[in-house]
């Protein structure tokens, strides 16, 4: 039975398009709270990600995700899993992890329940619908840098050009400074005094890692 063309299954809305734009080409994707698996289907079908894991805590959405994947003819590239938060994943199994469309407190609880999120190399694309400041502060307290930089994506500097920076370690001299600058702007414009203290301490530690 022929598969249905992906563009006729589910188009991404503006919210999911924003998350998709931040996924690194060539990365293995995990979409937590995937619902109908629109995001992983689109990214795998477009060749952005070679493989993906689509996970949801509820059986109904997980079954809907399986149907979407089957209709797209991508069952060999996208696994659908049932489970709470990050529990269906093992450390290192995915390179870019999207947790989108939930409240900040819910995302924070998901991260706290998986100790491996503090492992080096964990990259999360988080899209809190509420309590974003609470999540930002938790991330900084746990050594993560909330980056608000979209320069590479706006300029089309993705794919091999982006990954070459990651593999060579030059990411510390390119994207890392941009992340710290945009974080500083966030702290100045929006953060509470307590969050500013946490953020500035993190920035000071991270600046010491930049060699050039």
157-180 confidence digits (pLDDT tens): 555 566 566 555 566 667 788 889
96-102: strand order across its sheet = 78-82, 52-56, 29-32, 96-102, 123-128
Model pLDDT, residue 180: 93
Cα 13 to Cα 107, 153, 210, distances in angstroms: 21, 18, 37
d(CA 39, CA 42) in angstroms, rounded, equals 5
Chain segment 117-127, per-residue pLDDT in tens: 988 777 899 99
Q: Which candidate, 100, 33, 36, places its Cα nearest to that of 72?
A: 36
Q: Is 102 helix (H, G, I), strand (E, B) or coil?
A: strand
Model pLDDT, residue 196: 96
Residue 1 clears pLDDT 50, i.e. is over it: no
Q: Cβ(152)–Cβ(15) under 8 Å?
A: no
Task: Give the whole-number percent of the chain exceeding pLDDT 90.
Answer: 64
**29 burial level (CB within 10 Å; 0-12, 13-18, 19+):** buried
d(CA 194, CA 137) in angstroms, rounded, equals 9
**21 burial level (CB within 10 Å; 0-12, 13-18, 19+):** middle
Residue 9 clears pLDDT 60, i.e. is over it: no
Model pLDDT, residue 162: 60
Residue 199 clears pLDDT 50, i.e. is over it: yes
Model pLDDT, residue 165: 63
């Amino acid at each position: 039975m022929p598969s249905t063309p992906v563009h006729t299954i589910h188009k991404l809305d503006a919210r999911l398009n924003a998350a998709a734009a931040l996924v690194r080409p060539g990365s293995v994707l995990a979409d937590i709270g995937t619902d109908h698996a629109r995001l992983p289907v689109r990214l795998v079908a477009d060749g952005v990600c070679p493989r993906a894991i689509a996970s949801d805590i509820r059986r109904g959405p997980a079954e809907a995700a399986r149907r979407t994947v089957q209709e797209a003819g991508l069952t060999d590239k996208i696994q659908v899993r049932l489970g709470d938060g990050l529990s269906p994943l093992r450390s290192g199994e995915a390179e870019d992890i999207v947790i989108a469309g939930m409240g900040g407190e819910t995302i924070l609880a998901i991260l706290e329940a998986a100790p491996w999120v503090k492992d080096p190399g964990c990259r999360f694309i988080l899209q809190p619908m509420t309590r974003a400041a609470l999540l930002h502060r938790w991330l900084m307290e746990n050594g993560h840098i909330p980056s608000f930089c979209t320069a590479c994506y706006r300029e089309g500097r993705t794919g091999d050009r982006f990954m070459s920076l990651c593999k060579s370690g030059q990411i510390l001299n390119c994207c890392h400074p941009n992340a710290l600058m945009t974080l500083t702007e966030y702290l100045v414009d929006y953060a509470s005094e307590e969050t500013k203290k946490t953020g500035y301490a993190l920035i000071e530690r991270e600046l010491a890692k930049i060699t050039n």
